[in-house]
Chain A
Amino acid sequence: MNKTLLVLRHEVITILTRPSFLFAMFGIPLIGAAIFFIASQLNKTNPSQNVLTQLISNPQAVAAEGYVDQSGIIKEIPSFVQRGTLISYPDEASASQALANGQISGYYIIAPDYIQTGKITAVRKNFNPIASAGQGAALEQVLRVNLLGGNTQLANLLNGPTNMDLQSLSQAPQREESNLLTFFLPYAVTMLFYFIILSSASLLLSSVTKEKQNRVIEILMVSVTPRQLLTGKIAGLGLVGLIQTIAWVGTGRLLLAQSSILFNLSSAFQLPASFLIWGLIFFLLGYAVYASLMAGLGALVPNMREASQATILVIFPLIIPIFLLSVLINDSNGILAIILSLIPFTSPVTMMLRLSAASVPLWQIILSAVLLAATAMLVIRSVARMFHAQSLLSGQPFTRKLFFDALLGRA
C-alpha cells in the first residue's frame, strides 16, 4: 500500500511541476477570460467607438449606391429609405461615371424584363458577391413596394408580422434561439470535457510508455508489483485531472456568472450548482474508463510513436459526440442524444453537453452514471490483467488484435 502511495505522489509531483501543464491549467482559463472580456466589449451597445469593431470591419465606404431602372417599375422611393443612399441614374454611362468619381460605391441595373426574369446586375467597386450587401436589401424592398402599387405597409408585412409578441406557456426558463450562447455554451462545455478526459488519459499513456521505452520499468518491477504501479498511476493522474477540472469548470462558472451581468442573460443560461457535481462524477467515471484503456495500451506498445498511432483505437468513441456536436446541441433531448448519453463510452461527453444545453430527466442521468460506473469497473479489471510483468517488459510490436484479445482476456 505504501508503495502505491509512493507511485501516486511521484506522478502528481512530476506532472504538477511541468511548465506546460501549469500553462494549460492556468493559461487556458486566462485566455478564456480574455476572450469573454473581448466578446462582452463587442456586445456593448455602442459599437462605433470600439477599436476592436473597427479592426474587423471594412473601411468606411461611401454608403450611397445608384440604380438604373430600365424596367420603369420604380415610381417612388418610399420614406423608409434614407435620403441620398439610393440615387437614380438615367443610364449606365452616367452611373459608371459617378462610380469612377467616387460619388457612389456601386450601382444596380434593373433589367427591362424584370417582372418576368427578376434580373438585376450589381456593379460594385469592391466586388462583394453577397447579394444583399450594400443597399441591395433596400433596393429589393423598394421594388416590392412599387410592384405592389406603392403599398408600403403590405410590402413590410410580407416579411412576417411587424409587431410580434412571443409568449411561452411552459414554466421552465427559455433560451432565445438567436442568442449566440445558446449554441456556444454547450459547445464550450463539451469541448472542455473532451479535452480534460483526453488529456488526463493521455498523461497515463505517455507515462507508462515512457518508462517502458527508457527501461525504467525494468528497475521499477524489481520493487513494485504491476498492480501497485497501475493503481498508483491511475489515482495520481486522476487527482491531477480533477484539479484541472475544478480549475476549468470553476472559472467557467465564474465567467458565466459575470457574463450574465455583461450580456443581460436570462437565468436560463445559469448553470446550476448540481451541474458542477454531475460534472465531477462524469469526469471521474469517464476518466476511469479512458485512463485504464490508455494504460492498457501503454502496457502493450513498445514505444511512444506506436502509442500515439494506436490511441485512435481507444479515443474513437469519445470523438463521435464531437463530430455530431451541432446535431446534438440543436436537439439535445432527441433520440440520438439520449442514446449517445446512455452508451458508456460516449456518455461522459454527451451527458455534459445535454446538461449544459437543456434540462435532462434525472433518471437518464442516474442510469447513464450507473452504466458508466459498471463499465469502468469491468475495464479496470481487464486492464489490470493486461498489466503484468511479461507484457510490460516485452518489446513485441503492437497490433489491434493483440489489444482487443488482451482486453477480453484471451491473451
Chain B
Amino acid sequence: MRKFWLIVTHEYSRHVFRRRFILPLLSVPLMIIFTIVLVIVVIMINSVPTPIGYIDQSGILANPIPQPAVKWPERTVPMQAYPDEASAKADLQAGKIQAYFVISADYLQSGKAKEIYLKEPKGMAIQQFEAFLSTNLLASQPPEIVTRIQDGSVITVQSADKNREASEAQIVNLILPIVAGVLFIVGMMTSSGYLMQAVAEEKENRTMEIMVTSVSPTQLMSGKVIADIAVGVTQLVVWSLFVILGLLIGKNFVPQLSGFQISGEVVGTLAIVMIPAFVMISGLMAAVGATVTEASEGQQVMGLFTIPIWIPYFFIGTFIENPNSPLAIALSLFPLTAPMTISMRIGFTAIPTWQLVLSAILLVLSAIGAVWLAGRAFRLGMLRYGQRLRWKEIFSPQRV
C-alpha cells in the first residue's frame, strides 16, 4: 500500500508542482476575459454611431422623441431628419449618414417604408431606428402602457411540477451547466492526456522495466489513474474558483448575472454523468498509452476519442433550440458524447429520468470496461517494444 501512495504522490507532484502547469491553469480565466472583450468589441462595431437619416412623409415623426437609451457597450445612433430625398442622398454619398429611411405618407395604414444605403447597415443600427419609430408611434398612449410595451413582459418559466424555475434575468443559470460541462471535459482531457503520456513515456525510456521489479502492475496502474484524477480535480477546482469569482464580480456590473444560483439538482445530475465519464476517459487513455510504442504516436490515437467527445459542441445551436430531438437523445445515451450533450440540454429542458438513468448506467458500464481494458492492455503491452499491441490481442482469451 505504501508503494501505491508513493506512485500517487510522485505522479501528482510531477504534474502539478511544475511551471508548465501554470499555463493550463491560467488559460481558462484568460479565455473568459478574452471572450468578454471580444463581445464588447463586436457590439461596438455593430452599432456605428454614424447618424441614420429619415424623410417623414406621414407626420408621425413631426415632433420626434429620441429612442430609448441603449446600454453600454452598444452606442447610440443619432437620427437626423431631412426635408427631401435629394439632400439625404447627398449626405449619404458624402458618408455623413449610414443610411436613410423614407416613411410613406400612408404609413399608419400600409406600413410602407424604404431603406436606402450604400452598404447595408448593421442590425443593431436598424433596431435603434425601429425603436425610434415605435417610440413616436406610441407618443399618444398613456405613459404606463408605453413603458409596458417598450419593456415587454417578464416571463418566468416553470416546469409542470413547479420544481424548476427560470426567467430571462437568470439566463446565466442556463449557460452555467454548459460552461461547467466544457470545463469538466477540458480538464478531463488534459489530465488524462498526462496519464497517457506518463505511461507511454515510461515505456519509451525503459523506466517501466525497473519499476515492475518492485511494484505490481495493478499498483502502478491504479496509482497512476488516481493521481491523474487528482490532477484533473485540482485543475477543475482552480477553474471553478475563477469562474465563481468572475460571476461575483460581474454581478455588480451586469444585471443578467444577478440571478445566478447553483441548483442542487443540476450539480447532482452533472456529477452522476461526469464522474463515470472521467474514469472512462482515463481508462481509455491509459489503454492507449500502454498499446503504443512512442509518446508521439499516442497523441494521434488520442484524437480518435477527442473528436466524438466534442461532436455535440458543434450542434450547440440545434440542441438549445430543440433539446428533445432524436439526435440529442441519441447523443446523450452514447457514452462518449453523453457528458457534453447532457450538460448542454440540462439547462433547457427537463431531461426525462429514464434517459438520465440509462445514460448513467451506460457510462458506468463503459467506465468499468475501459478500466478492464486498460489493465489488460497494460499487462500485455508493458514490456513490449517496437511492435504495437493489436486490439485483437487485447480481446483474445489468452491469459495474462
Which residues does A use to contact B, with CB under 8 Å?
54-59, 99-100, 106, 108, 114-131, 136, 140, 143-144, 147-148, 153-154, 156-170, 174, 176-177, 304-305, 308, 323-324, 326-327, 330-331, 334
Q: Does B386 contact A (CB under 8 A)?
A: no
Contact with A along B322-366 (1 / 0, CB 8 A): 111111000000000000000000011110000000000000000
> Are A123 and B108 closer than 8 Å at their CB atoms?
no
> Are A174 and B158 closer than 8 Å at their CB atoms?
no
Chain A residues within an 8 Å CB radius of B110: 162-163
> Are B144 and A115 closer than 8 Å at their CB atoms?
yes
A330 in contact with B42 given A157-B108, A177-B123 (CB within 8 Å): yes
Q: How far is the CA of A125 from the CA of B149 in the complex (A)?
A: 28
> Are A158 and B134 closer than 8 Å at their CB atoms?
yes
> Are B113 and A147 closer than 8 Å at their CB atoms?
no
Q: How far is the CA of A130 from the CA of B321 in the complex (A)?
A: 8
Q: Which of B162-170, B223-231, B304-312 is the contact stretch?
A: B162-170
- CB-based nearest A residue for B171: A129
Contacts A129-B348, A131-B168, A168-B120 aside, 13 further interface pairs with beta carbons under 8 A come to: A56-B315, A58-B325, A115-B148, A119-B156, A126-B323, A140-B152, A153-B109, A157-B108, A157-B111, A159-B134, A160-B133, A163-B111, A305-B295
Q: Does B122 contact A (CB under 8 A)?
A: yes
Q: Does B154 contact A (CB under 8 A)?
A: yes
Q: Given A119, A156, A166, A305, which contacts B154 in the complex, CB threshold below 8 Å?
A: A119
A-B contact pairs, 11 of them (CB 8 A): A114-B148, A115-B144, A124-B160, A126-B350, A127-B157, A144-B149, A160-B126, A160-B133, A165-B112, A167-B115, A326-B42
Q: Does B179 contact A (CB under 8 A)?
A: no
Q: Given A131, A158, A165, A308, which contacts B137 in the complex, CB threshold below 8 Å?
A: A158
A118 in contact with B134 given A123-B158, A161-B111, A326-B38 (CB within 8 Å): no
Shortest distance between the CB of A139 and any CB in chain B (Å)? 8
A305 in contact with B296 given A153-B108, A163-B110 (CB within 8 Å): yes
Shortest distance between the CB of A311 and any CB in chain B (Å)? 13
Chain B residues within an 8 Å CB radius of A59: 324-326
- CB-based nearest B residue for A303: B296
Shortest distance between the CB of B354 and any CB in chain A (Å)? 15
Q: Does B2 contact A (CB under 8 A)?
A: no
Shortest distance between the CB of B188 and any CB in chain A (Å)? 21
> Are A118 and B154 closer than 8 Å at their CB atoms?
yes
> Are A177 and B134 closer than 8 Å at their CB atoms?
no
Q: How far is the CA of A166 from the CA of B101 in the complex (A)?
A: 9
Q: How far is the CA of A136 from the CA of B153 in the complex (A)?
A: 10
> Are B112 and A163 closer than 8 Å at their CB atoms?
yes
Chain B residues within an 8 Å CB radius of A108: 155
Chain B residues within an 8 Å CB radius of A122: 155-158
Q: Does B174 contact A (CB under 8 A)?
A: yes
Chain B residues within an 8 Å CB radius of A58: 322-325
Chain A residues within an 8 Å CB radius of B126: 160
> Are B118 and A168 closer than 8 Å at their CB atoms?
yes
A177 in contact with B122 given A99-B160, A157-B137, A323-B34 (CB within 8 Å): yes
Q: Does B141 contact A (CB under 8 A)?
A: yes
Q: How far is the CA of A174 from the CA of B121 in the complex (A)?
A: 12
Q: Does B241 contact A (CB under 8 A)?
A: no
